[in-house]
Each structure stands twice: as structure tokens, then as C-alpha cells.
Structure 1
Amino acid sequence: MDAAAHVLVFPWPLQGHINCMLHLAAALLDAGLHVTFLHTDHNLRRLASQPASSSPRLRLLSIPDGLPDDHPRSVAHLNDLMDSMRATGSAAYRALVLASSSNRAAYDDHPPVTCVIADGVMAFAIDVAEEIGVPAIAFRTASACSFLAYLSMRRLVELGEAPFPSDQPVSGVPGMEGFLRRRDLPRAPSRPSTSTAADDSGVVDPMLLNMGDCSAHSGKARALILNTSASMEAAALAHIAPHMSDVFAVGPLHAAAGTTRTASLWREDDGCIAWLDGHEDRSVVYVSLGSLTVISEEQLAEFLSGLAATGYAFIWVLRPDMVAGGTAVKMKILGLGGDKYSRVVEWAPQRDILRHRAVGCFLTHAGWNSTLEAAYEGVPMVCWTFFGDQLVNSRFVDTVWKTGVDIKDVCDRAFAVERAVRQAMESAEIRAAAQDMARQLRLDVAQGGSSSSQIKRLVAFIGELYVRDCHHTTTPADSS
């Protein structure tokens, strides 16, 4: 690899997307490339307490997202963030890429940017880079199976198979006709007091249509990168490939990268592991519904009732903004935390928890990062989904991989939680399937494995782009 190859990595500015693309950046750094990781100003300020990078080839830069500092940037305001990123963010991004890719832009011991890897949900980032003359690769932080569902969204609408909490099978997603139901299709976020984000009118939320269009737009990039492995999602990858210029399945990236890097927007509780140390093997339920899920106080009570009924100890990540209506959840009011039976924290070192011997199952929203992290550690899952790709992932966990239990759209959550947690904690079949998957994923990321080989191919591909496009292309900045 030519030492001058320099990749600008630009994630969608939410925690799960940042984590995943930072792991990609770590893999590229391990391969000897220069990397600029592009945050928003708002997020970079939140990361100010993070330790400085250990690699001289990693540079952190930021651009404005166009929103005021006190904007919540929560799941209820995702459209605000998207609109602002397309306007203010895209203009700042264009200026940065133009300056960074110029032959005059080498500074801080970094050569000019020769390639952009942009989060595929930001189609503008692909277009802007290519217009400037910098080759662009799309990266999607979702699973291949959910990406295929998004890619099929327009077809689903034509067939009248819009997302809805129904067991009606769908035929509009290739390769999934035998098991995917309307309730398993990606949905927009719902209000915490309701069980669904849509009625049965066939009207699909514009956010989902936009995600479908962004997925199709990835076909205009030089390639698509997915954080998955061929062993997990070979069928979905095969259906995606004809729509893309090239596809790289390089996951699980959190395990593939040789160097561990984190970029948490919340402070992780540092007492979790010591608390787990005091428990027996596979005796604790780990509960985390991710960085965006919002629930009602009634749902909180039902979850607590279900967990208490299992008799198992649990550790629960309960963000301050997680309960709807602006209610600050007080641990004293709930009577939780600080004892041997239960621990409630605002944020936690999830990967360390999942690999701990005391954890028996993971009650999760089935976000793809969490799903991969549990799969890699062989931890059975209970999936209670909130929106988007999580609904497809949870169906695969339950019905395809058989590594957990899917309880989406269940009205009696207290009963469902108790039953599902017991099943995940006690089923020999589920645990065996989870451990089999973990063994395979470790082979995938090991030297010579499918994902390891795909990362090497990606690095070579970036090098070819550098030789083909950057040595022989004059950028607008050079011609001015």
C-alpha cells in the first residue's frame, strides 16, 4: 500500500454509526493508511474528554451540523438533523473535502485525502466527493438483511406490503419470502405509548422511503462496505451484489480491528465489571436498548415486572433521556441499583459486559452493533425492537440464526419479558446456536478468514483508486 493513501471517514453523527465507522477507521489504520475521521462540531466537543489518538496517522476533524447546541438531536428530531446536515453540513463538508484533497493540503504530517468513505445514509456525501474528483465508497452500518429490506422499499410499497404489526408474509424482499412478515419490515420510530408507527393504510413514513432511496443510491458509489460476514449473511449479500459496483463484507469490525478505539458520547459506568464479578457464571441478564430508544413509564414498569419475575439478577442501561415525557428516572424511586440483585446505570462498557462470564443473556433493541457484539461473544439475545433495521435483525436472530427470542409488538410485555428471558437463559439449543455462531465469527476475522480477506481486498481497492484517480485527476482546487 502506498503510504500516501489517505481516507476521510464520515459517519452519520449518531452513536451507533460513529462506533461502527471508528472500528473501520481502526482497521484501515492497522493496514497502514492515513485516516481523517470527520465528526460534527457538537459531537467532537462531547468527545473532548477522550484520550488523544495513539496513531499519528489518525486525525480528527469536525464540521457544523447546523443545529444549535441545545438541540436535543434525539430520535424524535432525526428529520431536523438530516435536513440540517444536507444544508449546513454538506456545504462545510464540500469545503473541507475540496481543501483536504488539494495537492496543497498536506499538513499535520497527513498527505492529501485520496478517498472518502461516507455513511450511506448521507447520499450527498457520496455525490459531493465525486463532484470534486475524490472517489467515494459507501458504508452502511446496518446488517445486510436490513439493507436489502431498505433496498426493496419501493417494491414493497408497490406490492402493498408496507410495514405493519401483522403476521402477513411479504414477498417483496428477495430471499426472505419464507419467513419475513410485515411486522419484521423496517419502521419509523413510534411514540412510546403506541405499539406501531403506522396504520394499515399502506402509507409509508417518508423516512423509510428516504432510507430506501439512500440504499439504492449506494449503487452510484465505487463500492459498498457492510459490517457483516459471509457466514452470517451470504444470501442477503448475494441479492445485494447485483445492485452495487462492488461489495465488501468486513465484519464484525469491532473484532476485526487490531486496536480498540472508543468514541462514547456518554460516560460509561466504571463499576459494572466489579459488580458482575460478584455473580455466578451466566446468572445475570444484561439490558440495554441502545442510544435512541424511548419508552413510556408504563413500559418501564412492565419491563421491571418481567425482569423481577425471572428471579435473575440484571444490569440495566437506562439513559437519562430514555423515559418519554421528559421524566427523569430516579433510581431511588425505582428502588433499584446498588445491591446484588440489580444495577442500573446511565451508560455502560457494553463489549466488556457481554464478554463477562456472569452474563447469561442480552435483552436488546437488536441494533446491528449490539447484535454483532452479542453474536461474537456467543450471548443469547432477547430482542425488543424500537425502529428501523432492528425489526429485520430481530427476526433473523429468532428464526434464521436461532440465537435468541424476538418479542417485538408484544402487548403484554411483562409476561413476554419473563418468558423470553427464561428461554434465552435456559435453552440449551439457543445457547448452542449462539456459541456456534461465535466460533464461526472468530474464524471469519482471524488471519485468512472471509472478513479478514475482505479487509485486505478493501485496502488494495483503496490503493487502486488512489493510483487510478488521484495521480491522474486534477481537482477543481488545482485548476483554479
Structure 2
Amino acid sequence: MMPLLHAVIVSFPAQGHINPLMNFAELLAIRGFFITFVTTEWMDQRLLKAASKDAATRDREVQERGFKFRFLSISDGLPPEHGRTTQLGELFLALQALGPAIESLLTTADKSVPPITCIVSDSFVSCTAEVAKSLGVPRVVFWTCGTANSIVQANANFLLSQGHIPVKEEDLNSKEKFITCLPGKLPPIRPTDIVSFFREKHISEIIYSVYLYESRIQNIADYVLVNTFEELEGGEEAQMGLSVNGCPALAIGPVFLPNFLQGRNSMHSMWEEDKTCFQWLDAQQQGSVLYVSFGSIAIKSERQLHELALGLEACGYPFLWVLRSDIAEGKSVDLPEGFKDRTKDRALIVSWTNQLKVLSHPSLGGFLMHCGWNSTLEAISMGVPLIGWPYFADQFIDCRFVKDIWKFGLDFEGVDVDEFKLVTKEVVESTIRNLMEGCLAKELKENVVRLKKVASKAVMEGGTSYTNLNTFIEDMQKIAKSNV
């Protein structure tokens, strides 16, 4: 008999990391793994509060689904009032020090669980390297972002040695500075594609040195998994650009899609979701609605949000707009006078909602978004063309690939070079019209529908991601068997 496999999954405490790792955890649990899911106490409490549950209720619901699953949380050492994701550098420094505490947590928790087979680490939780080494188990690095950005990030110190980092302001638009020396057969990487924290203006900030440190530890891996699918990235060779000393590097995503296609809801939110919007969507014509959301972290100036509002008003399309309470540089926004009254017959504004359910609704025609990787994969998987408006980190390379490589989206010119550039209401209106009507809109829609079909095929039985996940499980079984 094969021993029961036990994966310890450690997530970075942010919405865009928790969701893919929780979906991955459920895919493993369905295949018989015992799962220990580790995150910070702050994140755990946010998730429970948003779901209106206590820990006991959540644990009972998981057990009722037949999963062998436990949740463990650990203090990040930061005060309750700390901004966490609004002060990323400090959050990273706190997480980097958690190795001994995580090891103690794993070794003192319930001893009746199976021996640990592997530690699946979010690629941005570097402290797991010392934990895996101390416990003598494989470290599986899980990239929650796309392959191109993952390769750039993992090679940040090499790019530093070659003079590509820090990215100088005057080089952002320079074709002479395109990068072609990275593994994985990537298209040429532009200076604006590199993680925004590596720009010269950030060199004195904590986040610059933190990301360089994380890059070094990201290359301490026994196995690499990427939340993407081979066909999107140009084949299996792209992921091999993340292989460390020849270790396997496999695309197994989109990890939420098997759960979605089989009717399982495994999306987890830090905010209470507004459910009233689905009745509103039901009343809209097929393919007519523009969905507007900038994810869980991105912020904009109040002036920019006013221009966006007026552009949405002028375009004439029905729109569903997610306006977080902290969207306007940390506070709520006062929209232009009379805007809500003038658009009330074709607009709905909510503070948060179930994005995947929105994107899968037949009334959806387009998505104006920040180009976070999870949202990009969801748009692909639901067949929704998009307008990318990146804010920071990997969102610039995601937006560039959406527009230039995969060709199912548009962007606003110049925002990748100047994040303070004001996109006027006229530009917002014309870009939305290009997304929603005419020959270009038809082409974008055809391209994303084609990718949707490929993504669905990849995660179903016999597909590339399905097969790669089985390969990972078989390799973990061999490791577990050899340790018996």
C-alpha cells in the first residue's frame, strides 16, 4: 500500500496568492493528499470574517466534503494596525523571519497526521527553504504568476549583474535595452516588463532589496510548479526556464478551473461579497456589460477615478464597477457630482463581489482591470476580452503579453512608463468602444474564446495541465515510498 501523502502548503498572505494555492490544495485533497494549509493569523481572520464563519465551522465544512485538511496559522509579528499589503517591504521582512516559528508549528501540531511528504511554498515565502531543509523534505516552489514574469523574477540577480536592473527611467522605452538572454525561449523582454519594484527610483526602498533576496531563494527548489498552461506559454520549454539544476518545472494551471468546471466553488475572499449584482446582470443583454475591477491592492488617485467615471458614463455601455473602500489612495472615492444619478439605469457599483461568477455570466462583454495574473487567467478561462491598466509588480508584463503576444486585450498607452499619467475620460471612452464594438472587438473576442477552449482542455483529463499534475503526484508518491 502507498503511504498517505501529506503536503504542507504555505501561502503568501494576500488575496492573489491565497486563491490559487487554496485551489491547488483542493486538487491535491481530491486526489487523496492530506493537506496542511499555513498562512498568517491576520490573513486567516480576514478570510473567516469575510465568509462570516469561525474556524470550527470552516473545518467542519471541509471535513464534510471528504477532504483530509487542516488549517494552521502563525503570527506575522506585525501590529494589528499595520497595512500589510500597503507596506509590502515590511511585510516581506516579517515573513522572511518566520522559518523557525513555522518549523515549530509543524513539529508540535497534531502528531496523528501522516509524515510530511513535501512543502509547497509560495514562491514569495523564502523562509520555507530553511524549513524544508531542516525537516528533510522536498521544497516545491509554486509560482502564482505567469511564466514570463516568474523567469524574470527568478533571474533578477542575473539581470542585475548584466546591468538590466535597476531599470533607468531613460531606458524604459529603449528598444536597445530589450532582454534576450533569459531561459525559456521568451519573447524579447522590454524594460517596462521587468517587475516595477526594480526601477531605479525604488532602489532606496525596502521592496527593491527584498525582491532581490527573494529571487535568490526562489532558486532553491526540488520541484517547480506554475499556475499557467503550456499552450499559453508557447510549450513546455517555457516552464523549463524555471528549472533549478534540472529539477522538474511543470505548468499545472489554471488551478481554479477544474474546480469551476465541475461546479465546486473554491474562491476565497478577504471582503464580504455583494450577491445582489447577479440579479442585475441577469437583466442585461448578452455580451453588453463592461466589468470594472482593479483587484485587491491597486489604488488610483481621486482625479483619475473621476476621469474613469466620466469615461464610463460617456461610453454608453452598462457597467458593473467594483469600488473598494480603499481604492482612492487608501480611502473611498467621492465620484463626480450627479454621476450615480445619470448612470443609475445602466450601472451598478459594489464594494466587492465573486469575480469568477461575474466573468462567467452571459451578459459580460469586457473587463477593465489591473492585469493581475489571477484575473488575467480568469478572463482567459471565461472568454472575456480585456483592457489592461497595470498598477505595479508583474502587472505590466501581464498586460504587455495580453495585448502583444496573446492578442485578446487593449491597454492605455504610456501608463507602463508613467504610473501617474492621467488617462482622460476621452481615452477611456474610446478604448472601451474599441473593446466592445467593431472589427477589433470581434478579433479580440475570437482570440480569447480560442484560448478559453485550450485552457479548459488543458485542465481536463488527458490535457497538459492535468497530465503534469499527475506527474507531480506520482513523483511525490515515489518520494513517500522511498521514505517508508
**TM-score of the superposition, structure 1-length normalised?**
0.87
Structure 2 residue 406 is matched with structure 1 residue 401: yes
Matches within 5 A, 1:16-35: 16-35=16-35
Partner of 1:475: none
Partner of 1:61: 72
State whether residues 256 and 445 of structure 1, in contact with CA within 8 Å, keep that contact through their aligned partners in structure 2: yes
State whether residues 219 and 245 of structure 1, in contact with CA within 8 Å, keep that contact through their aligned partners in structure 2: no
CA 1:441/1:9 → structure 2, altered by over 3 Å: closer, same or farther? same
Q: Which moved more, 1:437-446 or 1:37-46?
A: 37-46
How much has 1:152 moved relative to structure 2? Answer: 3.0
Q: 1:321-369: per-residue Cα shift (whole Å, max 9, x none)?
A: 1111x43335796743893321111111000000111111111111110
Q: Which moved more, 1:53-62 or 1:26-35?
A: 53-62
Partner of 1:452: 466
Give the partner amino acid of 2:189.
L
Structure 2 residue 306 is matched with structure 1 residue 301: yes
How much has 1:441 moved relative to structure 2? Answer: 0.7
Partner of 2:362: 357
Partner of 1:348: 353
Give the SS at the match of 2:333: coil
Structure 2 residue 93 is matched with structure 1 residue 83: yes
Give the partner amino acid of 2:121.
A
CA distance in 2, matches of 1:237, 1:177: 10
State whether residues 306 and 413 of structure 1, in contact with CA within 8 Å, keep that contact through their aligned partners in structure 2: no
Q: 1:300-321: per-residue Cα shift (whole Å, max 9, x none)?
A: 1121122222111111111111
Partner of 2:159: 156
Partner of 2:316: 311
Q: Which moved more, 1:329-338 or 1:253-262?
A: 329-338
Q: Which moved more, 1:399-408 or 1:175-184?
A: 175-184
Q: Which moved more, 1:307-316 or 1:435-444?
A: 307-316
2:144 corresponds to which of 141, 146, 167: 141
Give the partner amino acid of 1:94.
E
CA 1:91/1:155 → structure 2, altered by over 3 Å: closer, same or farther? closer
Give the SS at the match of 2:79: coil
State whether residues 383 and 408 of structure 1, in contact with CA within 8 Å, keep that contact through their aligned partners in structure 2: no
Partner of 2:243: 241
Give the SS at the match of 2:241: helix
Give the SS at the match of 1:62: strand
Partner of 1:474: none
How much has 1:57 moved relative to structure 2? Answer: 0.5
CA 1:457/1:72 → structure 2, altered by over 3 Å: closer, same or farther? same
State whether residues 157 and 204 of structure 1, in contact with CA within 8 Å, keep that contact through their aligned partners in structure 2: no
Partner of 2:418: none
- Note the residue ranges of structure 1 that are not aligned, 5 or more in a row: 190-196, 472-480
Partner of 2:115: 112
Partner of 1:329: 333
State whether residues 285 and 361 of structure 1, in contact with CA within 8 Å, keep that contact through their aligned partners in structure 2: yes
Partner of 1:439: 453
- RMSD between aligned residues: 2.5
CA 1:372/1:413 → structure 2, altered by over 3 Å: closer, same or farther? same
Partner of 1:126: 129
State whether residues 398 and 405 of structure 1, in contact with CA within 8 Å, keep that contact through their aligned partners in structure 2: yes
Give the SS at the match of 1:322: coil
How much has 1:112 moved relative to structure 2? Answer: 3.2
Give the partner amino acid of 1:451.
S
Partner of 1:187: 196
How much has 1:173 moved relative to structure 2? Answer: 5.1
CA 1:57/1:334 → structure 2, altered by over 3 Å: closer, same or farther? farther
CA 1:263/1:334 → structure 2, altered by over 3 Å: closer, same or farther? farther
Give the partner amino acid of 1:136.
R
How much has 1:34 moved relative to structure 2? Answer: 0.8
CA distance in 2, matches of 1:5, 1:46: 29
Q: Which moved more, 1:418-427 or 1:180-189?
A: 180-189
Give the SS at the match of 1:118: strand
Give the partner amino acid of 1:413.
V
Give the SS at the match of 1:157: helix
- Note the residue ranges of structure 2 that are not aligned, 5 or more in a row: 416-420
CA distance in 2, matches of 1:333, 1:465: 63
Give the partner amino acid of 1:168.
S
CA distance in 2, matches of 1:242, 1:55: 35
**How many pairs align?**
452
Partner of 1:168: 174
State whether residues 96 and 126 of structure 2, in contact with CA within 8 Å, keep that contact through their aligned partners in structure 1: no
Structure 2 residue 428 is matched with structure 1 residue 424: no
Partner of 2:101: 92
Give the partner amino acid of 2:135.
I
Give the SS at the match of 2:319: strand
How much has 1:106 moved relative to structure 2? Answer: 3.3
Structure 2 residue 246 is matched with structure 1 residue 254: no
Partner of 1:476: none
State whether residues 299 and 328 of structure 2, in contact with CA within 8 Å, keep that contact through their aligned partners in structure 1: yes
Structure 2 residue 81 is matched with structure 1 residue 70: yes
State whether residues 150 and 208 of structure 1, in contact with CA within 8 Å, keep that contact through their aligned partners in structure 2: no
CA distance in 2, matches of 1:207, 1:244: 30
State whether residues 3 and 32 of structure 1, in contact with CA within 8 Å, keep that contact through their aligned partners in structure 2: no
CA distance in 2, matches of 1:463, 1:356: 39
Give the partner amino acid of 1:72.
G
Q: 1:421-453: per-residue Cα shift (whole Å, max 9, x none)?
A: 222222111111111101111111111000000
Partner of 1:225: 225
Q: 1:240-291: per-residue Cα shift (whole Å, max 9, x none)?
A: 3365511121000001345431321111111111111111111111111111
CA distance in 1, matches of 2:158, 2:406: 26
CA distance in 2, matches of 1:392, 1:205: 22
Give the partner amino acid of 1:250.
I
CA distance in 1, matches of 2:245, 2:210: 17
State whether residues 364 and 381 of structure 1, in contact with CA within 8 Å, keep that contact through their aligned partners in structure 2: yes
